Amino acid sequence: MYLKKYEERYVALGKGKYFLGDHFSGADIFVGSALPLFSYTLDEFIIKDNAPFLGELVTRLKQGELKEFHEKVFNKYIPL
DSSP string covering 6-74: HHHHHHHTT--SBTTBSS--HHHHHHHHHHHHHHHHS-HHHHHHH-HHHHHHHHHHHHTTTHHHIIIII
- Look at residue 41 in the predicted model and tell me its pLDDT: 60
Rounded Cα distance between 26 and 31, Å, is 9
- Look at residue 11 in the predicted model and tell me its pLDDT: 93
- Look at residue 47 in the predicted model and tell me its pLDDT: 74
Domain extent for 62: 2-77
Residues of the chain where predicted confidence (pLDDT) is lower than 50: none
- Look at residue 73 in the predicted model and tell me its pLDDT: 79
pTM for the structure as a whole: 0.78
Q: How many separate domains does the chain show?
A: 1
- Look at residue 50 in the predicted model and tell me its pLDDT: 81
- Look at residue 23 in the predicted model and tell me its pLDDT: 92
Q: Which residues pair with 21 in a beta bridge?
A: 18
